[in-house]
Amino acid sequence: MNQSSLPETIRVLPVVVIRNPEDTIPTLQALEEGGIPAAEITFRTPCAAEAIRLGVRHFPRMYIGAGTVINAAQAQQALEAGAAFLVSPGLSAEVAEIARQAGVLYLPGCATPTEIMQAIGLGITTVKFFPANVYGGLAAIKALSAPFPQVRFLPTGGVDFDNLREFLDCGCIAAVGGSFMMKGDIRQNCRRILEVLK
Active site positions, annotated: 40, 128
Contact residues for 136 (Cβ-Cβ < 8 A; gap 6+): 143
Nearest C-alpha neighbor of 153 from the set 167, 134, 165: 167
Contact residues for 118 (Cβ-Cβ < 8 A; gap 6+): 91, 93, 110
* Omega cis (within 30) before 131: yes
CA dist 65 → 53, 69, 86, 147 (Å): 10, 10, 6, 29
DSSP 171: T
Strands 85-87 and 176-178: unpaired
